[in-house]
Amino acid sequence: MLMIRSLLFVVWLYAAIAVIGIVCGIVALFDPRWVYVGARCWARTTMFGARWICGIRWQLEGAELLPDYPVLVASKHHSMLDVIVPFLFFDRPSFVLKQELLAMPVFGWYARRIGIAIDRDGAMSALRKMVSEAKERTALGSSIIIYPEGTRQNVGAPPDDEPGVAAIYGMIGLDCLPIAHNGGLCWPAHGLLRKPGVVTFKILPMIPKGMKRPEFMAELEARIETATGALIANPPEAAKPGSH
């Protein structure tokens, strides 16, 4: 039964991308604000399906720590879920993403407008281009969301943070907001199976700008991995307010 529900949800997920993406994309050609309207509508629709098809709910802890100014957001990366839910608590986020995603139908059109693509083979020139785009986005009020591990990790896998997050942190000069979560318990990094449960996204205390690279990397990894490990070891039940 879990696999049947999971397959139904996959259909729901990609149907939502197609229908909402095309409709809002047409409107966005005339009013660019609809790019984010479409993205948020897709996120809400996806999580509605996740709840009623797969029994996956989500909740946010530490909402009082969300800033009202642009920051570098560093999130644990377990699955596509980590890209969907932030649209529901950040206003106009920009995501650092793989260049290959730009080629996807519909999704890629939005990724070009919301994302900051990085060419992993482009070395320093690619990094400078990414930093330049990130500065443009933050000047418009967007926070930059990056996944330090670069790719999705299975639950329990040892941390494997890439140096790119430290480079961006140092070159952009933004405070860094870490986010931990236990999403991999319900929506794994790989495969189609989705399991019922409560996914908790936890906003962690801000890491101020200006730290040296080794200290920053150690502090970031310690905060995210410690909080993620606790959420995985003891998944909290859904709180009445703020759960979806």
Mean pLDDT score, 151-167: 81
Q: What is the pLDDT of residues 46-97, one digit of tens each?
A: 999 999 999 999 999 999 999 999 999 999 998 889 999 999 999 899 998 8
Identity of the amino acid at 147 = Y
Confidence band, pLDDT 50/70/90 cuts, at residue 42: very high
Domain 57-233 -> CATH class: alpha beta
Return the percentage of the chain with pLDDT > 90, whole number.
59
- Report which of 11, 75, 41, 3 is spatially closest to residue 221, judged by C-alpha positions: 75
Q: What is the pLDDT of residue 121?
A: 63
Is the pLDDT at 230 greater than 60? The verdict is: yes
Nearest to 158 by CA among 212, 102, 224: 224
Phi/psi for 188 (5° steps) reads: -65, 165
CA 93, 82, 69: angle at the middle one, nearest 5? 25
State how beta strands 115-118 and 94-98 pair.
parallel
Region 142-156: mean pLDDT is: 88
Distance (Å, whole) CA 70 – CA 137: 9
Cβ neighbours around 226 below 10 Å, total: 12
pLDDT of residue 238: 57
Q: pLDDT digits over 119-135, tens only?
A: 766 567 777 788 888 88
Going by pLDDT thresholds of 50, 70 and 90, the confidence category of residue 185 is: very high
Q: What is the mean predicted confidence (pLDDT) over 206-231?
A: 93
Say what the pLDDT of residue 88 is.
95
Domain boundaries, the chain: 57-233
pLDDT of 198 strictly over 50? yes
Residue 64, helix vs strand vs coil: helix
Burial label for 64, CB within 10 Å (0-12, 13-18, 19+), is exposed
